[in-house]
Amino acid sequence: MENFTPVSALIGGAIIGSGALLLMLMLGRVAGISGIASSAIFQSEGRAWRLAFVAGLLVGPLLVGLILTDFTFATPDLGWEVVVAGLLVGVGTGVGSGCTSGHGICGIGRLSKRSIVATLIFMAAGFLIATLFTQGAATW
């Protein structure tokens, strides 16, 4: 079980939760990444903090890589499945009025019924697709 890393997962979750809490306390905004990224591109009001937020998402792992000597980046396999999945996620965030970060982290933390239902649907779809690809790949 080399992929079972509860301590680093707990630390990462605490950092993500703290960041979401700080954004809510300081700006009264939900840390939904799809909404922040979209608004950074298409809205001029509040663009600076949104661009800083997105930049932090990109620069953060690079800083961790500089600090931790045993940190490695995975090279993604960008096959057609990943492209289709990315497009479907993009459509889904529009249809679902947010993404897993907005609904799953912030919405559940605010006890939003809509976010709880949305997160359950996200997770069920993810489990189903992962199972189909891992079980079905052997028969392809």
Write down the domain spans for the chain: 6-133
pTM: 0.70
What confidence category does residue 1 fall into, taking pLDDT thresholds of 50, 70 and 90? low
Region 114-123 average pLDDT: 90
The average confidence (pLDDT) of the chain is 84
What confidence category does residue 136 fall into, taking pLDDT thresholds of 50, 70 and 90? low
Tokens standing for residue 46: 């509040």
Distance of CA 40 to the CA centre of its chain: 17
What confidence category does residue 55 fall into, taking pLDDT thresholds of 50, 70 and 90? very high
What confidence category does residue 47 fall into, taking pLDDT thresholds of 50, 70 and 90? very high
Q: How many helices (H) and strands (E) does the chain have?
A: 7, 0
- pLDDT at residue 139 greater than cutoff 70: no
Q: Tell me: the pLDDT tens digits for 76-92?
A: 777 888 888 888 888 87
What is the Cα–Cα distance from 110 to 74, expressed in whole angstroms?
A: 33
Do 34 and 102 form a contact (C-beta atoms < 8 A)?
yes
Report the b/e string of 125-135 with b at 16+ CB within 10 A. eeeeeeeeeee
